[in-house]
Chains A and B, each alone.
Chain A
């Protein structure tokens, strides 16, 4: 029933829009560690420090030796499919609408036996499979087994496609289509197979040659959008908000000043007005609309991506006011994530290190290219990850922050 161009069929406007449902969301505190790892795209299990036993499900103590010292470690997920079955019935409203669905029993090489969802290629008792942890529509970790070498996107599987936020055949709003990162995102989105990309532009009098060229593609539509102007945000969301499946908020003002380097509050205020208040303005207008459409068909609102900065976690004093504005945006974005949790719209945080742009030209490398940032964002959307740390520097700073934020604070104060 596709149109001549092979596009998704249009929504029947006489039918009621489905309301968002989510799978069971309750998890114990100890089990939330599984979710925390899945949010970063990792599968981790507890390993007992005393007897090296790997255990699942997560518990407060080792099930073998009752030791209390358990470390969460990366789990490769390689295992053997012991049993498989197809569910035709569920008491959970969420799953009732997504049946039949295949589940199986997998024994990991590292020891534990798990109940997992099965992707299409994982079949046959005794076959080798790989288990990964993904975030489900409630934002909690679920385990999915695929055949070794299986490549097909989860987007094709009716039960599992909700574990991905792929941009394919979706409509995306990029809040700043003029910047280098915006243009790289638009190019990447087109390659992924996005149906339509709105490229937000502020200050229409400033020329944007790269965007003008991208806009020749019929799938790209520049639209006026200034996140520092409440009227602009309201008008734009009223006009196109009900069609936005994925929001990528990459609009930012970045300047390299601390407190003493530049007298006056104007630059810091401008950074805050765009990086923090811009997010607030947009979220107030667009989040309710996306929440209502998170179970829409044929395409649903699935993700809200905020490009933050690794310096949201710990200030880079040479760019102290920028860091503070990103810290504010990070905190607000956590609030947004909580407010959208029940709807199933994934709020994604991206924490890049310094970007390769002119205001950073005095910083030594490594710096992140716009293309690398775009690849990271699009990959995370595909995999349904919600906390992304693109590039070596961001990964390094994340590891140090998790180890001890105080040590990182000192290191960044000394120049990083």
Chain B
């Protein structure tokens, strides 16, 4: 693109945002101590939940200022998964949060609405057929897009309902193994995003291979987004995601602000 028109494109982008033609939707949850973290079996290492300790708040610890120290895991809250997070992606180039190519951090997003199916079955698995049916209605998934699986799981504000644990473990929706391979091999998606903790379904330990989304996506140098919200505000096609993770050295992921740019509805 020539420099002129690139400059004009950027100006149009800013103008669109300022005048309201382009809407920005926040797909991230607020980081709070109450947000449920990923929980693994007790003998394995655990990821930290989000915690905040106030350093001072206009008081004797610091008269004119308010600031905090916070702590969390790389996979706390709304977060990005880099390929290095999974064993299958450990040796790929540019596989950590500090080395992810920047141009991949702005990408189109396709949103597939599985909210009805997920409401009926917490262990609902997205299949190739379901994706093809979606494409018949909304058009093919463009290459290097995010595929976001909308389940309205983010509306489960009760942490127990959000985790949905019983004696068999977690029951949350996700993709089956075949659709993950399809999305990689036939559609070249850049990443898979979900509203649940984990891009894989809650019972994905029992799929073949276990955790197919993590295994295949990261094994092919692609990304994940988890604990998204507001997917119900996005169009099926047309939104653009901005999702740069924190530049952590050899980072496996990080909490981040996921912004979606979309055309605002006509008044």
Contacts and interface: CB of A to CB of B under 8 A. Distances in A.
Interface of A: 203-207, 226, 228-232, 264, 266-267, 270
Interface of B: 33-34, 36, 39, 45-46, 49, 51-54, 158-160, 162-166
A315 B54 CA distance: 33
Contacts of B165: 205-207
A145 to B, nearest CB: 51
A251 to B, nearest CB: 15
B162 A230 contact: no
A207 B166 contact: yes
Contacts of A207: 165-166
| Secondary structure call for the A interface | loop
Contacts of A267: 45
B45 A204 contact: no
A270 B46 contact: yes
Contacts, number: 35
B51 A229 contact: yes
Nearest to B170: A205
Nearest to B167: A207
A101 to B, nearest CB: 45
B33 A205 contact: no
Given A205-B159, A205-B163, A207-B166, A232 B33 contact: yes
Contacts of B158: 204
Nearest to A262: B45
A230 B53 contact: yes
B46 A231 contact: no
Q: From A205, A206, A264, name the one whose CB has the most chain B CB atoms within 10 angstroms.
A: A205
For the complex of A and B, list the 10 residue pairs with the smallest distance between their C-beta atoms, beginning with the closest.
A205-B163, A229-B33, A205-B160, A205-B159, A204-B159, A204-B160, A231-B33, A205-B36, A266-B45, A205-B165
Contacts of B54: 230
A280 to B, nearest CB: 11
A195 B166 CA distance: 33
25 contacts: A203-B39, A204-B158, A205-B159, A205-B160, A205-B163, A205-B164, A205-B165, A206-B39, A206-B165, A207-B165, A207-B166, A226-B33, A228-B49, A228-B51, A229-B49, A229-B51, A230-B51, A230-B53, A232-B33, A232-B34, A264-B45, A266-B45, A266-B46, A267-B45, A270-B46
